[in-house]
Structure 1
Amino acid sequence: MSERGQDGTDEAGNTPNPFMPAPEDLQHWTSVMARAQAMMLEYALGQADEEKDAQPLFDPSKWLGSDGAQIWAEQSAKMWEQGARFWSSLATLTPGFAPETAAETPKDRRFADPDWTQNPAFALIRQTYGLLSDQLLETARQLPGLDAEARAKMEFAARSMAEALSPTNLAVTNPEVIKRAIETRGESLLKGLKHMLADLARGQLSHVDRDAFELGVNIATTPGKVIHETGLYQLIHYAPTTKEVLTVPLVIFPPWINRFYILDLNPAKSFVKWAVEQGLSVFMVSWKSADETMGDIVWDDYVAAEVDAIDTVRELLDVPHVHTIGYCVAGTTLAATLAMLAAKGEADKVKSATFFTAQVDFEQAGDLKLFVDESYLALLQQLSSQGFLDGRYMAATFNALRGRDLIWNYVVSNYLLGNDYPPFDLLYWNGDVTNLPAKWHRQYLVDLYRDNRLVIPNSLSVLGTPIDLRKIRTPAYIQAGREDHIAPLASVWRMMDHLSGPRTFLLAGSGHIAGVVNPPAAGKYQYWTGDNAAGSLEEFIASASETKGSWWPHWIGWIAGQDAGKRPAKGARVPGKGAKKAIEDAPGRYVKQR
């Protein structure tokens, strides 16, 4: 190997090309290619063996390896490879070309590598991509003859296409990937290929090292017992940590679209642990992931489950009522449960209702409304032929809403750069999907998202009772996330227009998850409180005052304001010590079923 000077040049005065391997590395690169071929052959043989077994229609473990996906990858690679050669030659023949400086370049984390501004070829690629993607989006916005719904779909498709075609998503047009491959002598590409083949086999994009967590060991660890179980849910009772507890217990209903332990990630982030430390007797519903036996499950069953949990806790602790929390879709269902109880004269079973990022009026429900047209519903029926919808499809839908952050960011990091997966509990939870009962999922999309029937008095019935949200007079605490893309702020606010009891609205910083899971000790974000009698969201925001940090202390103050009575934390207040004996330790079996 020749000696290089302090300026990096060799004996002949030549500057090495950081994007090309040295000649002495060619033998090693030949070995890398052979290992890559062996990995792909092993994967192909494994897939061939699996083909012998019957596979459901559109098996998620096959979708990333479909002909369409392969054609897209091949054509995209060819397009950008040809473009790179053209732009590179153009830059060398254009003496007057001057790339934009970093100060002039719009901030975009995808193009953070210095070569996107300093290297003429990559600077041209980036600038041309920016022009083309802007033009694509502008064309979608200005297409004539489209109604609002069609235009929204067109803009979403254009944005998704622009994100997918970013030159950062392909190894041949990403300088960071090229340099990493040279630095690691191809090992980064091999590791990325290993990651990709593993994801292809499981049919789901990985965001995290799945072996880094174990439920009940280093995630979902708050002590408690499963004290009640049905075919649809388990009820967890958490152990008290204070000598006295508030008389009125708390029952939490998490969304069945995800696992309950988003509220019990680890001791530092756990809302459950924190609530127990505030002196609450906390009960958590853990929904069962749907299987073939749950094909006939409908909304009535989930409402009945919420009522059953409420009655179980009331009877166990010998109290007239409970506090409740409903998160996302479980909050929507909690509203229906309250309306039904009110219609039957049983509203006093619930002392208060807290809604975490929940919607009842879906007129402004955001991009998720794009997935409720007839073509999507027909596809959904095909995907749910076994009586349930595989949770991997739902996860892909939610990821698509933020494709740049939740798909392409990880394609680059995991597959192209070959980075190690981060041991991040939130990402582990995000990928721990649950299956959904097919019949109810379709009903939910049609009746609520598409037809918005929940806010039409007596349009829907549950358990034989017509429901009218205006009959709900239970004190309500309504929390929304300022940057929520699942339950948009404007949509959550609408709950203020439909309930009739005392309502407290709180706007939290961040989005659907971080806006909720924000423990006081973290010292992150902020929240806003304002005029709860405001006639509109705009009026509320104009009246609102900001408070730094977590909103949880504000909530517990509100809870204590409903009923501050206390009693000793003994007897039935200890899991398994009352009439309901312990079935198993928290977090229970249902949360572990796939």
Structure 2
Amino acid sequence: MRDKPAKGSLPTPAAFINAQSAVTGLRGRDLLSTLRSLATHGLRNPVYTARHALKLGGQLGRVLLGETLHPINPQDNRFADPAWSLNPFYRRSLQAYLSWQKEVKNWIDESNLSPDDRARAHFAFALINDAVAPSNTLLNPLAVKEIFNSGGHSLVRGIGHLLDDLLHNDGLPRQVTKQAFEVGKTVATTTGSVVFRNELLELIQYKPMSEKQYSKPLLIVPPQINKFYIFDLSPSNSFVQFALKNGLQTFVISWRNPDVRHREWGLSSYVEATEEAMNVCRAITGSRDVNLMGACAGGLTIAALQGHLQAKRQLRRVSSATYLVSLLDSQIESPATLFVDEQTLEAAKRRSYQKGVLEGRDMARVFAWMRPNDLIWNYFVNNYLLGKEPPAFDILYWNNDNTRLPAAFHGDLLDFFKHNPLSHPGGLEVCGTPIDLQKVTVDSFSVAGMNDHITPWDAVYRSTLLLGGERRFVLSSSGHVQSILNPPHNSKANYVENPKLSSDPRAWYYDAKRVDGSWWTQWLSWIQERSGTQHETLMTLGNQNYPPMEAAPGTYVRVR
């Protein structure tokens, strides 16, 4: 089924914090400085401030008299309980909260602050407003009901969860019950073998699951920020199994979780290691060229690799390239980027070089604050106020299985966001060669997430335009992770496509068609056309030079 997207529904996923913020970090002193500036502005403009205070007072007075001034957002699950609209006390408390939100927003919007300062102020107050929501207290009707139903045990359990998280989870509520999953047993279970290992990676070859297979292999390059098994969570959503069942010889890189000894690993190190893995794929399958797939930072890696190969006149080794939620154009517009200056970047570099690595939990904390209602306050209510265990959810388990980044690679990513080097020829040098993506004439398939808050879809779209060759861009209806995990049996799956790529993502979107179903099936047809001829399946893994070393998922994925 195809139809036009709604004309007035241009998706705007770039919320407050994004991938740049996670790599750079967000300093508390910057938020405090913004709040101090706001306070100073309020004191210097007492008449203006008093006028908004009186407006707020008037609204609160009407709320106390029982008026419902602000509609409840039906998509805001925090206030889904009927008590928020039916009970007089809860209705008034919610209306007072919504009145405060609206008037603070108006106070900032109508101030004489600069546009940048207003954006910073909105960002800071959004975090505060989410934190002080009435749903985050023990007066939450769900919490009150649970206390009565459990005879007070929910309160005892909640205090226990809070103390445990303060001691063992950096003070943030846990998002998942980790005991529910185990790598190699309940996730990452597809049969395969490690056929190559070097200092940076293990290369996993998977056992075929089809009677015939294509001659050109698929090499999946996951992000260095997370572990590879996002592509192989469970049989129902395993991209690896989808590829295998459709005749693709499938290899996946499993990155080593670096420690202080590996502080000098940079982008060039990862590109060299990926090239070595690609050559092993070629040697095992006997194919001259390989189909590459990169996700997030893995997409940056395969783009740099292709630029390096092009400079060496060896680009014929690559048959096609697939980019999943990958940024090559690093220009992102969001309020959080206004906190990033030269001093912030240098401080971030200095911290990681002193430690040798950027800790995964530090990035995870910033990622959580990207969507605090979903990733923090939701679990605050569930774990502490309701006294319940967090859910057993495979995606959240993977998301919390953090890895570290070596200091040199972290520095390369900071420079990537600072200089946007791939946007012009020779702006980035990898392995001693300048990169010009326009000369990379490999056919490409790019996927972005309409609701992606980490790599906003318009930036991914602009990244596609940097590439040479035949390009295809698909906008999935999902977010950052669900854009990857989008199997054909997902009844809610849909995407937007338009074969004509214009320079403006908005123009592309307005002329695009909405298609029901998963992009996986469209990609499969595309990749099969670029995977050579079919032949009888060879069930053996590896070869004489690269024999199977150990069963998948290997050793590196288990390193904490």
How far 1:147 moved relative to its partner? Answer: 4.9
**C-alpha separation between the residues in 2 aligned to 1:417 and 1:400?**
22
1:488 pairs with 2:448: no
Are 2:189 and 1:199 equivalent residues in the alignment? no
Matched, 1:162 2:152: no
Contact residue 327 and residue 357 of structure 1 kept, 8 A:
yes
Deviates more, 1:272-281 or 1:537-546: 537-546
Instruction: Return the letter of the residue paired with 2:393.
Output: F
8 Å contact from structure 2 (residues 66, 92) kept in 1: no
Match of 1:463 in 2: 431
1-side partners of 2:459 and 2:129: how far apart? 27
Q: Percent identity?
A: 35
Give the alignment of 1:257-268 within 5 angstroms.
257-268=225-236
Contact 2:215 2:285 in 1 (8 A): no
- Give the aligned partner of residue 494 of structure 2: 526
Q: What is the CA-CA distance between 1:160 and the residue it aligns to? A: 1.2
User: Is the Cα contact below 8 Å between 2:218 and 2:291 reproduced in 1?
Assistant: yes
Change (3 A) 1:586 1:563: closer
SS in 2 for 1:130: helix
Aligned length: 499
Q: CA RMSD in A?
A: 2.4
Match of 1:115 among 74, 83, 87: 83
Query: Partner letter of residue 146 of structure 1?
Result: S
Deviation, structure 1 residue 578:
4.4
Check conservation: 1:250, 1:323, Cα contact below 8 A: yes
Q: Give the SS at the match of 1:458.
A: coil
Do the aligned residues in 2 keep the contact of 1:99 with 1:118 (CA within 8 Å)?
Answer: no
Shift of 1:366: 4.4
1:583 equivalent among 549, 555, 559: 549
The letter of the residue matching 1:105 is: I
Residues 1:420 and 2:420 are matched in the alignment: no
Q: Please say which of residues 324-333 and 449-458 is displaced more in the overlay.
A: 449-458
Letter in structure 1 aligned against 2:140 = N
Q: CA deviation at 1:206?
A: 1.3
Using CA pairs under 8 Å that are at least 6 residues apart, name the structure with larger relative contact order, 1 or 2. 2
Q: What CA distance in whole angstroms lies between the structure 2 residues aligned with 1:494 and 1:94?
A: 48
2:306 to 335, 338, 362: 338
Change (3 A) 1:568 1:501: same
**TM-score w.r.t. structure 2 length?**
0.84
How far 1:561 sits from its partner (Å)? Answer: 1.8
CA pair 337-191 structure 1, distance change in 2 beyond 3 A: same
**Distance of 1:246 and 1:154 partners within structure 2:** 55
User: Which residue of 102, 111, 122 corresponds with 1:134?
Assistant: 102
Query: How much does 1:360 deviate?
Result: 0.8
1:9 is matched with which residue? none
Aligned to 2:181: 213
AA paired with 1:133? Q
What residue identity is the alignment partner of 2:83? D
1:369 CA drift (Å):
3.6
- Is 1:387 aligned to residue 321 of structure 2? no
| Structure (1 or 2) with the larger CA radius of gyration | 1
Distance change in 2, residues 1:137/1:307 (3 Å): farther
Matches of residues 233-382 of structure 1 in structure 2 within 5 Å? 233-364=201-332, 366=334, 369=337, 372-373=340-341, 374-375=343-344, 377-378=346-347, 381-382=350-351
Partner of 2:270: helix, strand, or coil?
helix
Deviations 1:484-519 (A, max 9, x none): 111111100102321121001111111111122111
Conservation of the 8 A alpha-carbon contact between 1:99 and 1:117 = no
Structure 1 pair 353–229 and aligned structure 2 pair: CA distance change class (3 A) = same
AA aligned to 2:431 is L
Q: Deviations over 1:350-381 (max 9, x none)?
A: 10000001111111364664564323652563
**1:122-145 CA-partner distances (Å, limit 9, x unpaired):** 222211111212233344444434
Pick the aligned partner of 2:413 from 414, 434, 444: 444
Question: Which of structure 1's runs of 4+ aligned residues deviate more than 6 A?
Answer: 93-96
Counterpart among 350, 356, 369 of residue 400 in structure 1? 369
The alignment's TM-score, normalised by the length of structure 1, stands at 0.80
- Larger mean Cα displacement after TM superposition, 398-407 or 451-460: 451-460
What are the within-5 Å matches in structure 2 for residues 168-187 of structure 1? 168-171=135-138, 173-187=139-153
Equivalent runs, 1:92-103 vs 2, <5 Å: 97-98=65-66, 100=68
**How far did residue 433 of structure 1 move?**
0.7
Q: Which amino acid aligns with 1:451?
A: H
SS of the equivalent of 1:131 reads helix
Q: What is the distance in 1 between the residues matched to 2:498 and 2:287?
A: 33
CA 1:492 to 1:180, structure 2 compared with 1: closer, same or farther past 3 Å? same
Aligned partners of 1:364, 1:132: CA distance in 2, in Å? Answer: 30
CA contact (8 A) 1:359 1:487 kept: yes
Distance of aligned partners of 1:138 and 1:247 in 2 relative to their CA distance in 1, 3 Å threshold: farther
**Are 2:349 and 2:410, in contact at CA under 8 Å, matched by a contact in 1?**
no
Q: Is the 8 Å Cα contact of residues 131 and 377 (structure 2) preserved in structure 1?
A: yes
- 8 Å contact kept, 2:191–2:206: yes
Q: Check 1:500–1:375 CA distance in 2 against 1; reply closer, same or farther (3 A cut).
A: closer
- Per-residue CA deviations over 1:539-592 (Å, capped at 9, x if unaligned) read 32233222212111100100122244112222xx63244431112111111111
1:300 maps to a residue whose letter is S
SS in 2 for 1:326: strand
How much has 1:185 moved relative to structure 2? 1.7
Residues in 1 aligned to 2:507 and 2:310: alpha-carbon distance in whole angstroms: 30
